Structure formats: structure tokens, C-alpha cells
Amino acid sequence: MKILYATHNVFLSSTLKNNLVVPKNFKKLPFDKIKNGILGKKYELSIVLVGKDRIKNLNKIYRQKEVATDILSFPLSKENGEIFINPQVAKIKAKKFEFTYENYLLFLVIHGLFHLKGMKHGSLMEKQEKKYLKNFS
């Protein structure tokens, strides 16, 4: 596993063999500010970029869905959680939802953070996501 970004409470790593699928600007996102705004300063966050096989396996184990997805979020405790992102699926979905690839990756981080906070899909979550996306894109 390769560490791409690390601070006191945020860790970004990759299990990908080829990091070319990850835009250079992604590593420069203000992960701490985004995380602090949504989950607070004490929350410890791990973001892991994984390949299709790994995310498909995680999705099958934890959601009983045998398909590669773009993101999975796992709250481990009230102050600790993990987000897994698959860049290949994200790149496809970015086009589908008319995002740039970079903005879609930012959206996924924000989306995952709100799930770690306990929010479910719906208009309130979408409103909050748009606010954060606007502030950080």
C-alpha cells in the first residue's frame, strides 16, 4: 500500500498498481478541512483507493452486491471511519453524471463523509453535498 497523503487525522493511501488513474490534483485536496467541517477535528479518517476486484469483493461481503462500485464507507466507531474509492468506476460515473473526473472524486469523498456521519440518501444529504462541493471545487 502506498501512502499518498497523511496528516494527524486523515490518511489517503492506494493499493493500485498504476496510480495514473488518480489525478495529481486529487492528492492536493484539503481533505482535513472537508473532514473537519463534516465530522469534526477529532475524527480519524482513512481513504483508500482500490481496484475493481477489491471493491467488488468488499461490496459482496458487506452489501451482498456482486458488482464493482465507486465508493464504500465504513464507520468503525463514532470517531473513526474508512472510505474506499475505486477510481476506474468513478471515472465512468463522472461522465454519466456530467462531472469532471476530479470533481467527481471530490464529490465521492464528501458523499462518503456524510455517510460516515450517519446520513442517508435524500434531499438533505444532497443539499449538504452541493454546499461542500461548491466550497471546495
Which set of grid coordinates corresponds to residue 42? 477529532
Q: What is the domain extent for residue 130?
A: 2-135
**Rounded to whole angstroms, how far apart are CA atoms 125 and 121?**
6
Look at the chain and report how many structural domains it folds into: 1
Which residues of the chain register pLDDT less than 50?
none
pLDDT value of position 132: 95
The helix or strand, by DSSP H or E, that contains position 3, with its residue range, turns out to be strand 2-6
pLDDT value of position 1: 83
> What CATH number corresponds to the domain at position 106?
3.40.390.30
pLDDT value of position 19: 65
Rounded alpha-carbon distances, angstroms, from residue 5 to 12, 45, 108: 5, 12, 17
**Rounded to whole angstroms, how far apart are CA atoms 120 and 108?**
14
- pLDDT tens per residue, range 40-74: 999 999 999 999 999 999 999 999 999 999 999 99
**Rounded to whole angstroms, how far apart are CA atoms 104 and 90?**
7
pLDDT value of position 48: 97
Task: Please compute, for residue 83, the number of CA atoms within 13 A of its CA located in the half-sphere on the CB side.
Answer: 25
